[in-house]
Amino acid sequence: MADGDVSEIEKDVDRLYVQLLERAFQQVKPVQVSPERLKLPEMRVEYEGRSTVIMNFKAICEILRRDPRILASYFGKSLGASYSVEEGRLYLHARYPPDTLKSVLQGFFRRYVKCPICGSPDTELIRKQRRMELVCEACGAVSAVEKI
Ligand SMILES: [Zn+2]
């Protein structure tokens, strides 16, 4: 093999190496998430007698891609309230101001939606026997979270 060929091969190897490095860097780079995507959905809150009703509960669950039973249970536990889900609405059987509800939803988002590694909201919550796992679709991280 002539010297010329060897250096051509070396160049190819160098080029490949650079490509591999670039790809590796892309994989560890934090995912760019627009602030818009991290904004919480607005809750429509109404009061019926002694109950607080989140009217668009089903839509919120769909936006966050979470099982309504999980989010309902989180609200119930966080507020120490009994609750029920009827026709896509969440009924909390006590009166709570909108700010309180908002901070509960924020807490849920922070712990059960947003990836703690890269900050992406594109995650899946998987129920295991004794715990739950947050699996990130953006960076692939699997984070253990407290069971709800
Ligand atoms: Zn992630």
The predicted model gives 109-123 an average pLDDT of 95
| pLDDT of 28 strictly over 60 | no
Question: pLDDT higher for 128 or 74?
Answer: 74
What is residue 116's predicted lDDT score, i.e. its pLDDT? Answer: 96
**Strand-by-strand arrangement of the 132-136 sheet:** 123-127, 132-136, 142-145
In 3-state terms, what secondary structure has residue 31?
coil
**Alpha-carbon distance 36 to 139, whole Å?**
19
Evaluate whether residue 108 is within a structural domain: yes
Evaluate whether residue 141 is within a structural domain: no
What is residue 141's predicted lDDT score, i.e. its pLDDT? Answer: 97
Quote the ligand 1 centre to 40 CA distance (angstroms).
Answer: 18
| pLDDT of 30 strictly over 70 | no
Q: What is the pairing mode between strands 142-145 and 132-136? A: antiparallel
Q: Which domain holds residue 46?
A: 35-114
Evaluate whether residue 56 is within a structural domain: yes
Evaluate whether residue 18 is within a structural domain: no
What is residue 121's predicted lDDT score, i.e. its pLDDT? Answer: 94
**Distances 99 to 6, 31, 95, 106, 141 between C-alpha atoms, Å:** 69, 30, 12, 10, 32
Quote the ligand 1 centre to 75 CA distance (angstroms).
Answer: 25
Quote the ligand 1 centre to 130 CA distance (angstroms).
Answer: 22
Evaluate whether residue 29 is within a structural domain: no
Domain harbouring 91, CATH code: 3.30.30.170
The share of the chain scoring above pLDDT 90, in percent, equals: 68
Quote the ligand 1 centre to 147 CA distance (angstroms).
Answer: 19
Evaluate whether residue 83 is within a structural domain: yes
Which among 136, 141, 140 is positioned nearest to 65, based on CA atoms? 136
Identify the band that residue 129 occupies on the pLDDT scale cut at 50, 70 and 90.
Answer: confident
Identify the band that residue 21 occupies on the pLDDT scale cut at 50, 70 and 90.
Answer: low
In 3-state terms, what secondary structure has residue 128?
coil
Question: pLDDT higher for 13 or 95?
Answer: 95
Quote the ligand 1 centre to 109 CA distance (angstroms).
Answer: 14
Evaluate whether residue 17 is within a structural domain: no
What is residue 37's predicted lDDT score, i.e. its pLDDT? Answer: 73
Evaluate whether residue 89 is within a structural domain: yes
Q: How many independent structural domains does the chain possess?
A: 1
